[in-house]
Amino acid sequence: MIMKLNIEGKSIWQIGSGDSSRDYSNVFLDFGVALVGPGDPGDGRNPETENYYKANPDIKNWGKILSQVKKGNWIVLRSGQRIIKAVGEVTSDYDYSEIFRDTDGWDLQHFVKVDWYLPKKEISFDKSVLVRSTLTGCYNKLVLERIKSEEFEKHPAIADLKKLIVPKEITIDDISQSLIDFGVRIQDAENIASTIERIIKLTNWYHQKDPYVLEHEIRTFLVVPLLISLGWSEQKLKIEYNKIDVAVFKKPFEGKYKTDPQIIIETKRFHDGLSFTDEQAKQYSKDYPTCKMLITTNGFRYKIFEKQNDKFIETAYLFLSKLREHHFLNPKIGGAVKALLKMSNFN
């Protein structure tokens, strides 16, 4: 049903839908929520966390900030400072869920429930009128008048938060045993496990000492070692192949630069999201028609897309630092063991 929104006299907030490397708007809309993070430490309601924020004044307590958004308030979902993607009525006070612990690489456990409404036509502005802040009040008269004048249609949530179960965390030993049970040689399974442990240690060092580690260093020191442990030889790997960050070939590469890789890997920086846009997937599908798998990674998180009926579908997700049985928001997307097997040369 097409309608105009009655926001007169209501408290209005605005929230970001992500950044240039990640877009959370689909999660917001599909689950009927507004999210902020990071979620740790604590949930914003535990008094024990207050000492942490007092000791770290530059770190915002997003749970406490979001708790100011109340049921009956309205919230504007923005993209950048010029586009409104949706407007919603808040239907619950602040809450917290571990389900949103790993949302495209970010902790976003703080949430309120929202009934979202989509504009019938894009709401965009010629200048920056929305504030570049994760969550803040919305007071710009131009924005408010535009919302009142536009027509909207309610967007029903299509995912039920109550039905989701936080995926079980598994250990390195669990990984090793699962690979052995699948038929991977014991020494190979042990090598994969020890490689993951080394990658985690190096990742932690980068986070502490060199958080802006460069993308080519991530490829060299984090991604390639994992691939080699998974059974891919150096002869089957090419770095920066025809603008592809890492190309994996079925047979040893012999200088044939028109050969389609079996796996295409796009590497990102630590602070980048792992969104893999439809346009990228379509382009790769066209340029490399026999490519079977696309992977995006920042060196410790991996999103795996497999080709199904000429489309790339996400089938597995791997977070090396916190290994899980399946994806947080979609249990149909496999977790650590499935991801490692799909990435490997052991099948």
Angstrom distance (rounded) from CA 300 to CA 298 = 6
Query: Does residue 105 come out as left (phi exceeding 0), alpha (psi in the -120 to 50 range) or beta?
Result: left
Contact 172, 323 (CB under 8 A): yes
Distance CA 3, CA 148 (A): 10
**What is the model's pLDDT at position 43?**
46
158-188 burial, b at 16+ Cβ within 10 Å, e below that, comes to eeebeebeebeebebebbbebbeeeebeeeb
DSSP string, 61-84: -HHHHHTTS-TT-EEEEEETTTEE
Q: What is the pLDDT along the chain (347 residues), one digit of tens a residue?
A: 899 999 999 999 999 988 777 888 999 999 999 999 887 654 444 444 555 556 665 567 888 899 999 999 999 999 999 999 999 999 999 999 989 988 877 889 999 999 999 999 999 999 999 999 999 999 999 999 999 999 999 999 988 888 889 999 999 999 999 999 999 999 999 999 999 999 999 999 999 999 899 999 999 999 999 999 999 999 999 999 988 999 999 999 998 778 899 999 999 998 888 876 667 777 887 889 999 999 999 999 999 999 998 889 999 999 999 999 999 999 999 999 999 999 999 97
Residue 234's pLDDT is what?
Answer: 97
pLDDT value at residue 253: 93
CA distances from 329 to 100, 103, 163, 317, 335 (A): 7, 8, 10, 11, 11
- Judged on CB neighbours under 10 Å (0-12, 13-18, 19+), 9 is exposed
| Structure confidence at residue 309 (pLDDT) | 87
Assign residue 101 a region (left: φ > 0; alpha: ψ between -120 and 50; beta: otherwise).
alpha
pLDDT attached to residue 47: 47
Query: Alpha-carbon distance 108 to 343, whole Å?
Result: 28
Pinpoint the residues of the chain covered by CATH 3.10.590.
2-163
CB 265 within 8 A of CB 220: no
3-state secondary structure 177-222: HHHHHHCCCHHHHHHHHHHHHHHHHHHHHHHHHCCCCCHHHHHHHH
**CATH (one of 2.60.40, 3.30.70, 3.10.590, 1.10.287) for 2-163:** 3.10.590
Q: How many Å apart are CA 228 and CA 232, to the nearest integer? A: 5
What pLDDT was estimated at residue 63?
86
Q: State residue 274's pLDDT score.
A: 82
* Residue-wise pLDDT tens digits, 168-198: 999 999 999 999 999 999 999 999 999 999 9
Label the pairing between strands 22-23 and 263-267. unpaired
Tokens of 99: 């389900």
pLDDT at residue 40, rounded to an integer: 63
Asked if 131 and 14 touch (Cβ cutoff 8 Å), the reply is yes
Residue extent(s) of CATH 3.90.1570 domains in the chain = 172-343
pLDDT of 59 reads: 62
To the nearest 10 degrees (0 to 180), the angle between helices 172-182 and 186-209 is 150
Burial of 142 (0-12, 13-18, 19+ CB in 10 A): exposed
CA pair distance 337, 319, nearest whole angstrom = 11
In this prediction, residue 50 carries a pLDDT of: 54
CATH second-level architecture of 172-343? Alpha-Beta Complex (3.90)
- How far apart are the C-alpha atoms of 236 and 224, rounded to whole Å? 11
Site of tokens 């079925």: 250
